[in-house]
């Protein structure tokens, strides 16, 4: 089952990706994906379209979302897979998590105004597919458009990250709530791209320890956000902590994303793939 081409992390224009759920499905299928999940940030509004498109292409589907969480003052992402998307607590929890984004975006724009970047709220909105889900990515696209930076990653480096103008502190969902929404809806909670958080070993241990105590079951091992040594590091950690391992490109856009759908290496042999534990939740065509 290690060899199954599963891509269980990517985005459509229902959050901060640029392709429609149908276009992401078609691209995944073209690249050989056999089991797919669309994991838009804090949102499940694209799930039915994604599943239907997958099924039209003969691809198996797992429901998904990537939930923004604040843990010990840091932003951490938790991917939920295989949940029942009609579960009320999950839907309400995600709506509440999305709720603060508009005010945050207005505050970001006010901050950017002070350093001479004008009209960023309206500018970012032009890139937004779902008004509930205005994100830093949309600001970054606008700021590349007006020539503030050449590349998206430079906008993040110079403006949209901690300590930089345009960065606004935000309180996302609690780790305990995110894990509970996913788990009570029949899904599996997975720590997304742990290599991205810049945690000290102690902070990382605290995150994994609490996540497991709350009922979290998985960790992303092979992801577009990890380096090759990080595949090994988090495969070891998955074995040590008895966590299921996940694989996903974190694809957002054909030009911006350096990892395309379905093109990552297979999970290391020693881990247990999350899709084995989710076999009963897979929606077959």
Which is nearer to ligand AMP, 172 or 208 (by Cβ)? Answer: 172
Which is nearer to Mn ion, 177 or 250 (by Cβ)? Answer: 250
Which is nearer to ligand AMP, 156 or 211 (by Cβ)? Answer: 156
Beta bridge partners of 109: none
Residue number of the CB closest to ligand AMP reads 135
Q: What's the CA gap between 90 and 44, in Å, rounded?
A: 9
E strands present in the chain: 6-7, 35-36, 60-61, 64-71, 74-81, 173-174, 188-191, 218-223, 244-248
The Cα-based distances of 250 to 10, 90, 253, 262 in angstroms read 4, 22, 10, 10
Cβ neighbour number for residue 270 with a 10 Å cutoff: 12
Which residues are at the interface with ligand AMP (CB under 6 A)? 16, 41, 68, 135-137, 152-153, 156, 252
Site residues for Mn ion, 67-106, by CB under 5 A, read 77
Residue 267 binding result from Mn ion, ligand AMP, none, given CB thresholds of 5 to 8 Å by partner type: none
Site residues for Mn ion, 234-263, by CB under 5 A, read 250
Using CB under 5 A, count the residues that bind Mn ion: 5
Which is nearer to ligand AMP, 85 or 108 (by Cβ)? Answer: 108
Q: Does 16 engage in binding with Mn ion (CB under 5 A)?
A: yes
Closest CA to 191 of 161, 212, 174: 212
Q: Does 43 engage in binding with Mn ion (CB under 5 A)?
A: no
- Shortest Cβ 72–ligand AMP spacing (Å): 17
Tell me how long the chain is.
285
- Shortest Cβ 153–ligand AMP spacing (Å): 4
- Shortest Cβ 37–Mn ion spacing (Å): 11
Closest CA to 177 of 92, 83, 85: 92
Q: What's the CA gap between 170 and 172, in Å, rounded?
A: 6
Which is nearer to ligand AMP, 8 or 235 (by Cβ)? Answer: 8
Residue 44 binding result from Mn ion, ligand AMP, none, given CB thresholds of 5 to 8 Å by partner type: none
Which is nearer to Mn ion, 16 or 111 (by Cβ)? Answer: 16
Beta bridge partners of 220: 246
Q: What's the CA gap between 267 and 249, in Å, rounded?
A: 12
Binding site for Mn ion (CB under 5 A): 16, 66, 77, 192, 250
């Amino acid at each position: 089952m290690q060899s199954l081409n599963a891509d269980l992390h990517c985005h459509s224009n229902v959050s901060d990706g640029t392709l429609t759920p149908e276009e992401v499905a078609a691209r995944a299928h073209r690249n050989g994906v056999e089991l797919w999940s669309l994991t838009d940030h804090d949102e499940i509004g694209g799930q039915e379209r994604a599943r239907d498109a997958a099924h039209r292409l003969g691809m198996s589907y797992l429901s998904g979302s990537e939930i923004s969480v604040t843990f010990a003052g840091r932003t951490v992402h938790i991917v939920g897979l295989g949940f029942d998307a009609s579960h009320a607590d999950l839907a309400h929890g995600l709506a509440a998590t999305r709720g603060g984004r508009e005010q945050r975006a207005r505050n970001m724009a006010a901050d950017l105004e002070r350093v001479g970047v004008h009209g960023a709220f309206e500018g970012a909105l032009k890139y937004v597919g779902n008004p509930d889900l205005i994100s830093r990515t949309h600001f970054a696209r606008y700021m590349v458009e007006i020539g503030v930076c050449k590349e998206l990653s430079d906008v993040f480096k110079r403006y949209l990250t901690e300590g930089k103008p345009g960065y606004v502190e935000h309180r996302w969902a609690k780790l305990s709530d995110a894990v509970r929404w996913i788990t009570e809806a029949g899904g599996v909670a997975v720590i997304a791209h742990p290599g991205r958080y810049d945690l000290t070993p102690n902070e990382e241990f605290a995150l994994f320890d609490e996540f497991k105590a709350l009922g979290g079951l998985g960790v992303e091992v092979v992801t577009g956000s990890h380096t090759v040594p990080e595949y090994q590091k988090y495969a070891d950690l998955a074995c040590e902590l008895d966590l299921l391992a996940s694989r996903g490109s974190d694809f957002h856009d054909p030009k911006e994303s350096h990892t395309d759908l379905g093109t990552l290496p297979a999970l290391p042999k020693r881990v247990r793939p999350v899709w084995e534990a989710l076999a009963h939740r897979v929606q077959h065509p």
